[in-house]
Amino acid sequence: MTVLDRDWFARDATIVAPELLNKVLRVDSPTGPVAGRIVETEAYMPDDPASHTFNGPSNRNRVMFGPPAHLYVYLSYGIHSCANVVTGPPGSGQAVLLRAVTPLDGLDVMRARRNRRDPELANGPGKLCQALGIDLDDNGLDLLGNGRVTIIDDEVSSPPNPVVGPRVGISKAVDRPWRFRVPTPRSREVSAF
């Protein structure tokens, strides 16, 4: 198992998003470590009207304009934390939304946080953050093994032919095929939250 390096993340979000599939997202917390295999992502580029950076830097999105391999966390609808991985060169304003993981470690902790025992513990960006314990306090964290949130390559390859489609939960640029999923025997839609 290796922690990905900064150069790996310093590429366009549309390249990183499908390659993040099957990487492991690990979060350490007082209640114990939790980890999940990334199975769904969405790319957001600077010229994308659906991106938080489309209108330029602000206090909310400043992390997206910083160096790659940092976590950008925001609240959706003022309720759900959503986690993004900053990509591209510093100043470019792009990121990959982590939409879903398949739990690997800390299943009991995830179930307690979500108050659920179903297989859909982390199948949406808000569910993912709740299950893994990611919140606004994690905004700006370095993902290269120096903090409590890390992305690891455990040598499970990204799928050569991921399921590609339009992004969900947005109202602008919905036609861009920048949503990527690990194929399943019965690929099904994943809820927005």
pLDDT-derived band at 3, boundaries 50, 70, 90: confident
Is residue 132 pLDDT above 70, yes or no? yes
Summarised one tens digit per residue, pLDDT across range 80-120 is 899 999 999 999 999 999 999 999 999 989 998 988 767 78
Output the pLDDT for position 171.
Answer: 65
Residue 190's pLDDT band (boundaries 50, 70, 90)? very low
Higher-confidence residue: 184 or 92? 92
3-state secondary structure the chain: CEECCHHHHCCCHHHHHHHHCCCEEEECCCCCCEEEEEEEEEEECCCCCCCCCCCCCCCCCHHHHCCCCEEEEEEECCCEEEEEEEECCCCCCEEEEEEEEEEEECHHHHHHHHCCCCCCCCCCHHHHHHHHCCCHHHCCCECCCCCCEEEEECCCCCCCCCEEECCCCCCCCCCCCCEEECCCCCCCCCCCC
Domain positions in the chain are 2-181
Out of 29-38, 75-84, 176-185, the most confident range is: 29-38
- Number of CB atoms found within 10 A of residue 171's CB: 7
Residues 3-17, mean pLDDT to the nearest whole number: 95
Our CA angle for 150, 60, 29, nearest 5°, is 30
Query: What's the average model confidence in pLDDT over 148-154?
Result: 94
Q: How far apart are CA 43 and CA 167, in angstroms?
A: 8
pLDDT exceeds cutoff 80 at 145: no
Q: Report the candidate in 140, 180, 141 with the shortest Cα–Cα distance to residue 44.
A: 180
Buried b (16+ CB within 10 A) or exposed e, 76-105: eeeebbbbbbbbbeeebbbbbbbbbbbbee
- Written in H, E and C, the secondary structure of 115-131 is CCCCCCCCCCHHHHHHH
| More confidently predicted of 167 and 55 | 55
Q: What are phi and psi of 116, to 5 degrees?
A: -140, 160
pLDDT at 50: 67
What number of CA atoms fall less than 13 Å from residue 161's CA on the CB side? 2
pLDDT in tens, 25-38: 999 988 889 999 99
CATH of domain 2-181: 3.10.300.10
